[in-house]
């Protein structure tokens, strides 16, 4: 399995509630936690048992060394993670009681992950390629085209949302978005689960007029909706404590990709992804919060 994407240091501040515009509130604590959508997805996939290679970049700073060490300890193939001059990618995150969060991302070294880097990755027939929107859009398109050319499957997480180019959309096998990103994708107001399900049953086109095939819409505590092979599926939300929702979508994507790579059908892969994300929100932080295969299996079996 191959992930091409971002690697960030998350600087996380806890608060009792989110501040209003112009307001100052007291914070509870500050943490530096490895994250970034690409890294989070790679960790989630590796912890579910998928051999995973990550293509990305960190900065030549203290954060870069910590991030590289964390990924190596997770037994991810980091031979294609470069150390670039300048700062590492950084995310400034505020987490309130109940798990609500806000995130500001500064790209840093992630901006150097250019289309030329795609040629360095070994993508084979039958592989699963995971992409997100914290690296340049042209890199995602080059990667998806390369995967399609060799018979690999591409899973694209449109987060943070950026309108996909026609070439990227045409070369993507599964799109994963949350409800806000789905609204932007189909150029419609944000809707509730019932309205999203109705739209999934109809012919979908993206904001550039291109047809949309398989798509998964994550709904937070309400679970997820998916259109796979023309069939609309609903996955219920999983009950449990919510500590921090940061990285839950990344966990879902990584677990889904790992399950596809293991040969599971899409429906079973979605169930594992839903269970994994439900576990991740019960823990603080992003990268280190990703569950293991044993934990996901236990959750699915009701243990």
Say whether 134 counts as a known binding-site residue.
yes
Say whether 40 counts as a known binding-site residue.
yes
State yes or no: is 297 an active-site residue.
Answer: no
Say whether 231 counts as a known binding-site residue.
no
Say whether 280 counts as a known binding-site residue.
yes
Say whether 175 counts as a known binding-site residue.
no
Say whether 264 counts as a known binding-site residue.
no
Catalytic hit among 192, 214, 250, 297: 250
Say whether 208 counts as a known binding-site residue.
no
Say whether 219 counts as a known binding-site residue.
yes
Sequence-distant (≥ 6) Cβ neighbours of residue 1 within 8 angstroms: 45, 50, 51, 52, 53, 127, 128, 129, 130, 257, 258, 261
Say whether 283 counts as a known binding-site residue.
yes
Say whether 246 counts as a known binding-site residue.
yes
Say whether 39 counts as a known binding-site residue.
yes
Say whether 171 counts as a known binding-site residue.
no
Say whether 41 counts as a known binding-site residue.
no
Residues that constitute the known binding site for K(+)? 244, 246, 280, 283, 285
Provide the annotated binding site for ATP.
178, 218-223, 249-250, 274
- Tell me the catalytic residues: 250
Instruction: Show binding-site residues.
Output: 8-10, 36-40, 134, 178, 218-223, 244, 246, 249-250, 274, 280, 283, 285
Annotated binding residues for substrate: 8-10, 36-40, 134, 250
């Amino acid at each position: 399995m191959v992930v091409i994407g971002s690697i960030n240091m998350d600087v996380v501040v806890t608060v009792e509630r989110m501040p209003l515009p112009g307001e100052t509130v007291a914070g509870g604590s500050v943490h530096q936690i490895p994250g970034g959508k690409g890294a989070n997805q790679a960790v989630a996939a590796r912890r579910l048992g998928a051999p995973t290679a990550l293509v990305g970049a960190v900065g030549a700073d203290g954060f870069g060394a910590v991030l590289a060490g964390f990924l190596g300890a997770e037994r991810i193939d980091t031979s294609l993670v470069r150390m670039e001059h300048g700062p590492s990618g950084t995310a400034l995150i505020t987490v309130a009681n109940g798990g609500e969060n806000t995130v500001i991302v500064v790209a840093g070294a992630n901006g150097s992950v250019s289309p030329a880097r795609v040629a360095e990755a070994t993508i084979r027939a039958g592989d699963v390629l995971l992409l997100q929107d914290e690296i340049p859009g042209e890199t995602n398109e080059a990667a998806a085209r390369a995967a399609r050319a060799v018979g690999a499957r591409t899973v694209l997480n449109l987060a943070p949302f950026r309108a996909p180019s026609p070439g990227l959309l045409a070369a993507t096998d599964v799109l994963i978005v949350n409800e806000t990103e789905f609204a932007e994708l189909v150029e419609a107001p944000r809707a509730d689960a019932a309205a999203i399900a109705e739209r999934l049953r109809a012919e979908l086109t993206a904001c550039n007029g291109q047809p949309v095939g398989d798509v998964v819409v994550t709904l937070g505590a309400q679970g997820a909706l998916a259109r796979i092979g023309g069939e609309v599926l609903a996955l219920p939300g999983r009950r449990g404590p919510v500590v921090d929702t940061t990285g839950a979508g990344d966990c879902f994507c990584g677990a889904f990709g790992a399950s596809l790579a293991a040969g599971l059908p899409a429906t079973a892969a979605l169930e594992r992804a839903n269970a994994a994300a439900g576990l991740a929100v019960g823990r603080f932080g992003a990268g280190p919060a990703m569950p293991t295969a044993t934990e996901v299996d236990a959750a699915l079996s009701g243990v």
